[in-house]
Amino acid sequence: MKIAVLGSGAWGTALATHAGREHAVSLWSRDAAQAQAMQADRVNARYLPDCPFSDGLTVTAAPLGAWLQDMDLVVIATPMRALRQVLTDVSPWVQARVPVVWLCKGFEAGADGMGRMGHEVCAQVAPQLLGGVLSGPSFAQEVAMGQPAALVAASAHASVRETLVQAFHRGNLRVYANADVVGVEVGGAVKNVLAIATGLCDGLKLGLNARAALITRGLAEMTRLGVALGAHSETFMGLSGLGDLVLTATGDLSRNRQVGLALAQGLTVAQAVEALGHVAEGLDCARTVVQRANQLGVEMPIAQSVVGLLDGALSPQQAVAQLMGRDAKQEL
């Protein structure tokens, strides 16, 4: 199988390295100098310096164009804010039968104030593509090193799900198929916002009871939004819901959790991002998640508090007080 992975960040590189142990993988970078260095050194020194490339992986910075016509699978590994442009760029070149899937987790911040999921962006700019998403609880470093992990391949098209399983289900990486694209994308987006809240909770040393309550009530928020958007509630008890939430909220490799920890220490959002040095998708999509929820009349108090914190309307202590001061209610 010939696979193109578009985006040479940590996660794109990790999946390319994994797939390159069995398939021919072209890892695309926008930066020609970076691509040349990675191809020569056989490692992504910036993001995964301790994870050498597999033999089947080659790096290219060639413009997105005719070379994509030879691919059996195209994987977009950019942040959510770049998805629209990359879909637009690749759509004229991809064969009609070839799946185009994305790894980004979030809601696009549209100019109209409408936060859109990946499949909604694809429907707008490239509706003819066979689209899908690969998601689930996964730290790039561990996947690149070959440690055990499980992902979910979601698409409305059975052929896309089957191709993703064929491409990535091997060794210590399991890939489960799921037709609930909405549920998988909502889980991947909202868990990043909740991870910021959990990092804040742990940074303030509020205790393990507080962490458990926050994760559990966060899962309830995620499920409410997903069901309102047409997802199946059981999806949120799976890999892209509970699984990804637990990993991102509690694992110290989580960028979004690190943002919350930094905010608890008194850093500003700008200082937290600078210290992180990587993209934290929860920062980009928190407002769009809450906007989408408000449009649907879905209550998401934890996500709303995160937005207040990021906007500077709430201090960390005020965010906690706002959540704890809410009126008593039924759990479900």
Task: Compute the half-sphere exposure of residue 34: CA atoms within 13 Å on the CB side of its CA.
Answer: 14
Question: Which two tokens mark 21?
Answer: 């142990």
Cα 253 to chain center, whole Å? 14
Q: Which of 2, 105, 191, 205 is catalytic?
A: 191
Report helix, strand or coil for 292. Answer: helix
Tokens 């930066």, residue? 31
61-103 pLDDT, tens digit per residue, is: 999 999 999 999 999 999 999 999 999 999 999 998 999 999 9
* pLDDT of 284: 82
145-194 pLDDT, tens digit per residue, is: 999 999 999 999 999 999 999 999 999 999 999 999 999 999 999 999 99
2 is catalytic: no
* pLDDT of 23: 98
- Name 256's Cβ contacts closer than 8 Å, sequence gap at least 6: 192, 193, 195, 196, 199, 248, 280, 281, 282, 283
* pLDDT of 36: 97
Distance in angstroms (rounded) separating the CA atoms of residues 173 and 179: 20
Residue 291 φ/ψ, nearest 5 degrees: -60, -45
Question: Which two tokens mark 183?
Answer: 């549920």
CB-based contact 298:228 (threshold 8 Å): yes
Dmax over Cα atoms in the chain, in whole Å? 60
Neighbours of 154 (CB within 10 A): 31
CB-based contact 236:185 (threshold 8 Å): no
Q: Bridge-partner residues for 5, per DSSP?
A: 27, 75
